[in-house]
Structure 1
Amino acid sequence: MSAHQPLPKDPIAEARRNWERHGWTTVAAPMAAVTSIMRVQQLLLARAQATLKPFGLTFARYELLALLDFSREHRMLMSRASALLQVHPTSVTNAVDRLEGAGLVRREPHETDRRALVLVLTEEGRQVAAEATAALNEDVFGQTGFTDEDVEHLNEILARFRAGAGDFEVSED
């Protein structure tokens, strides 16, 4: 599954030992955790990108397609898509440019606000979104390498962190 030879030992564990040797013992474990999360993100993103490549998509473009596909009318204000994806509007514009060029989405003017743009998922976009989602479910989400219990714990831990960082408001539901 990996494109490279495994290292003979864990470099993050070695970094943690270096932190401890330098007297940074109280932050050695958190440094290792943060670094591990960043490395896992790289590994999982690489797997997702490889799965999406045959569809001509990056993960960022896939997320936009999926967002539109899940929306009730397969359309959404561009500004709303940017907010929900938690990315800068320029990033959405770049993704839309590529998706529009591939015939997967189109821009339409808003009916009452001429400053706003509406993104509309095309039929071809719906088909690509469905096929790409099936591939991701099979090759990435269904084969994370984590146990079901690990996944539940990770979801709880990461959601708590994200909420504490102001990523979203915690509801009482």
Structure 2
Amino acid sequence: MPEPLPLDPIAEAHRQWTAHGWGEVADGMAAVTSLMRAQQIVLARVEEVLRPFQLTFARYELLMLLSFSRAGALPMAKASARLQVHPTSVTNAVDRLESAGLVRRAPHPSDRRATLIELTGDGRELAMEATGKLNAEVFGNVGLPGDHLGPLLQILAGMRRDAGDFEDGAGRW
């Protein structure tokens, strides 16, 4: 971890925004910049845990999505929709996971146009092992007090809902 800076660069940017006449949007700029920096910090922690498993977070998410499905398999298009990523991203992740023996492609039993992604036993085992490490090293201590997590989840869910991520009433926060 790098040495802490002697000042908060986002607070300084907020000050500069205000000094340059953009005070009415300074809070918004600081919120966006803070969210992006927090994402970088969390992603670095997650990727550090996943590196020994030779997984990226995107590939880990796909393994977990498959492990949560009833049959351990999903059509490529459904995986793309549930992960909220472009189909090309899923194809890339499947290519990597398939070459590692963690998933396999299979024809869809009732739709000749669709391809299923199936989780292999090795893929399920690796996903569970990686989840244990993530639970212990990241998810169990995200860097915030526990009583802050509920309000944060509500705020972020509202932001995501308003951006069209899911229908109103579909979240539990």
TM-score, with length taken from structure 2 = 0.96
Displacement after TM superposition at 1:5 (Å) = 1.4
Which of 113, 136, 139 lines up with 1:138 in the alignment?
136
Q: 1:69 aligns with which of 54, 67, 70?
A: 67
Distance 1:128 1:88 in 2: 25
2:65 maps to amino acid: L
SS of the residue corresponding to residue 101 of structure 2 reads: coil
Match of 1:98 among 91, 96, 99: 96
Q: Which has the higher contact order (CA 8 A, sep 6+)?
A: 1
Deviations 1:72-124 (A, max 9, x none): 11111110000000000000000000000000000001112221000100000
Equivalent position SS for 1:140? helix
2:122 equivalent in structure 1: 124
**TM (normalized to structure 1)?**
0.96
Structure 2 residue identity aligned to 1:25: G
Q: Offset of 1:155 from its aligned partner? A: 0.2
The residue type paired with residue 148 of structure 1 is: G
Deviates more, 1:39-48 or 1:145-154: 145-154
Q: Distance in 1 between matches of 2:142 and 2:118?
A: 32
- The separation in 2 between residues aligned to 1:145 and 1:110, in whole angstroms, is 42
Q: Which runs of 5+ in 1 are unaligned?
A: none
Aligned to 1:88: 86
Q: Secondary structure at the match of 1:171?
A: coil
**Alpha-carbon distance in 2 for matches of 1:38, 1:167:** 18
- Give the distance between the partners of 1:116 and 1:144, measured in 2 at CA: 38
Percent of aligned positions that are identical = 60
Residues 123-173 of structure 1, C-alpha deviations (whole Å, 9 max, x = no match):
000000000011111111111111112111110000000001111101277
Unaligned runs of 5+ residues in structure 2 are none
Amino acid at match of 2:53: F
Q: CA RMSD in A?
A: 1.0
**Residue 168 of structure 1 corresponds to which residue in structure 2?**
166
44, 47, 53: which one aligns with 1:46: 44
Please give the secondary structure, in 2, of the residue aligned with 1:87: coil
